């Protein structure tokens, strides 16, 4: 008979390795995507902005579809296999499909690229995170203790991807494709079929149907959750999009600013790694709602300080807080969803209510934020965004729901579910 402790340890190692390889795969190539579009595909600023906008539209469409599929198949890995295959095709896609299309048929290339990257990365990483959450609760682990390896994967790839890119981007693409094949191999060895055969506190025999998705839109908790995402998470992610441009202005030369930004990004990845390790214990103690409020306060603090400071040291200290915010918001959001929404729609709620909503913010907030950067400057714009996040954090203290069964260190989900530890 299999030792359950050894089985749990083996499952943790395999899923952690899968998470590491997933982010490593995409960071090695996609981390330099914007630079590649300008340098190699020859696109101008407007065209690059259009590419990202179309990518965002496709991501908003595909993420809820992935969420529905995840809820439909439970712990089966078919969707993750598909994502691995898409990832493995990165080198041939970039070299033989995407680049020629962008150079000769820009609109077709933009659409094909948006579909590919949404299937593989934008929606793929969201499906991966949803699977980690479900897997961790089945094995009575913490989401953050597995998700933290994603930060290490990104940092590892980032440490050499720029150097290889200067030699040839094709090397980056080849490494990504090989890494994706390794990722697929690890996933094939991960055995979780037994959990899909019985009703438990995470999975349900009663599978999701399309009416369950529409029922979310009639649920008051869905809209109060979305209000928090729109007022707080949008500020967090939109501010980060062009933060590098603001950061370098604090230094005497652009080269010095770029170098320091790279160092601080590494520190940020370390902060995210250790944050994922430590944050779950904090959220278990204070509850998911309070975790989301704490996240809002940290976001507001970072943006307000960023807007007010003129000191290079202060901006360097502020930059890594983004890694802490990532850990806080992901752990809190997953626990909040587990507490307040039916387990049949768990993945759908995450990919629709959180992931898709975040990308809607790119369409709604990014243009006026960009206008603010141009007209009143980065500092004033970040100050306004920080105040907006603070106001919505305050509103969310009244609108977000507290789990009625939450007691001290753990939040007990509704309808007899066990505590999430």
Q: Which segments of the chain belong to CATH 1.20.1250.20?
A: 1-207, 210-421
Distance CA 185, CA 169 (A): 25
pLDDT at position 157 over 60: yes
Closest CA to 272 of 144, 382, 92: 144
What per-residue confidence (pLDDT) applies to 43? Answer: 86
Q: What is the number of alpha carbons within 13 Å of residue 360 lying toward its C-beta?
A: 16
Instruction: Say if CB 329 and CB 295 are below 8 A apart.
Output: yes
User: pLDDT at position 281, please?
Assistant: 92
pLDDT score, position 202 = 64
Question: How many other CB atoms sit within 10 Å of the CB of residue 311?
Answer: 12
Least confident of 304-313, 314-323, 397-406: 397-406
Q: Which CATH class is domain 210-421?
A: mainly alpha
pLDDT band at 196 (very low <50, low <70, confident <90, very high): very low
With a CB cutoff of 8 Å and minimum separation 6, the contacts of 274 are: 148
Provide φ and ψ at 203, rounded to 5°.
-105, 155
For position 83, what pLDDT does the model report? 97
Written as six digits, the tokens of 201 are 């506190």
Which superfamily does 1-207 belong to? MFS general substrate transporter like domains (1.20.1250.20)
Whether 416 shows a pLDDT value over 70: the answer reads no
Smallest Cα–Cα separation from 295: which of 222, 400, 365?
400
Section 240-258 average pLDDT: 83
Is the confidence at residue 405, as pLDDT, over 90? no
The pLDDT, as a whole number, for residue 75 is: 87
pLDDT at 419: 35
Show the tokens assigned to 65. 């579809």
What is the pLDDT at residue 170?
95
Q: What is the pLDDT of residues 98-142, one digit of tens each?
A: 999 999 999 999 999 999 999 999 999 999 999 999 888 888 888
Q: Quick check: 110 and 50 in contact, CB under 8 A?
A: yes
Q: Say if residues 242 and 370 touch (Cβ distance below 8 Å).
A: yes
Instruction: For residue range 28-85, list pLDDT tens digits in order.
Output: 998 788 789 888 899 886 788 788 888 888 998 999 999 999 999 888 999 999 999 9
Q: What is the pLDDT of residue 418?
A: 37
Q: Please determine, for residue 158, whether its predicted confidence score (pLDDT) is greater than 50.
A: yes
């Amino acid at each position: 008979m299999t030792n359950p402790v050894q089985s749990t340890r083996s499952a943790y190692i395999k899923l952690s390795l899968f998470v590491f390889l997933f982010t490593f795969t995409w960071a090695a190539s996609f981390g330099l995507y914007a630079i590649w579009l300008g340098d190699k595909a020859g696109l101008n600023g407007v065209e690059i902005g259009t590419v990202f906008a179309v990518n965002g539209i496709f991501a908003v469409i595909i993420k809820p579809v992935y969420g529905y599929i995840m809820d439909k198949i439970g712990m089966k890995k078919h969707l993750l296999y598909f994502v691995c295959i898409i990832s493995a095709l990165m080198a041939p896609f970039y070299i033989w499909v995407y680049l020629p299309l962008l150079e000769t048929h820009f609109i077709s290339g933009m659409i094909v690229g948006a579909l590919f990257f949404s299937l593989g990365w934008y929606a793929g990483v969201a499906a991966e995170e949803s699977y980690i959450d479900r897997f961790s609760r089945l094995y009575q682990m913490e989401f953050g203790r597995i998700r933290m390896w994603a930060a290490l994967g990104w940092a590892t790839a980032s440490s050499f991807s720029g150097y290889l890119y200067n030699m040839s981007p094709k090397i980056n693409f080849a490494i990504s494709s090989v890494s994706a094949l390794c990722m697929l191999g690890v996933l094939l060895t991960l055995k979780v079929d037994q959990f899909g055969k019985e009703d438990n506190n995470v999975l349900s025999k009663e599978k999701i149907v399309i009416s369950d998705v529409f029922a979310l839109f009639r649920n008051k908790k869905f809209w109060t959750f979305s209000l928090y995402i729109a007022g707080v998470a949008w500020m967090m992610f939109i501010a980060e999009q062009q933060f590098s441009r603001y950061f370098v202005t604090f230094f005497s030369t652009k080269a010095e600013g770029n170098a320091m930004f790279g160092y601080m990004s590494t520190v940020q990845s370390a902060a995210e790694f250790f944050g994922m390790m430590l944050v779950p214990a904090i959220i278990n103690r204070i509850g998911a709602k309070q975790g989301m409020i704490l996240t809002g306060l940290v976001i507001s603090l970072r943006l307000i300080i960023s807007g007010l400071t003129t000191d290079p040291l202060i901006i360097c200290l502020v930059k890594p807080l983004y890694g802490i915010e990532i850990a806080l918001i992901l752990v809190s959001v997953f626990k909040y969803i587990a507490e307040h929404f039916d387990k049949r729609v768990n993945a759908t709620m995450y990919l629709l209510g959180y992931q898709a909503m975040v990308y809607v913010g790119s369409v709604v907030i990014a243009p006026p934020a960009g206008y603010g950067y141009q007209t009143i400057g980065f500092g004033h714009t970040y100050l306004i965004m920080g105040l907006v996040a603070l106001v919505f954090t305050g509103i969310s203290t009244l609108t977000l729901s507290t789990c009625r069964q939450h007691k001290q260190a753990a939040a007990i989900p509704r309808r007899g579910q066990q505590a999430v530890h």
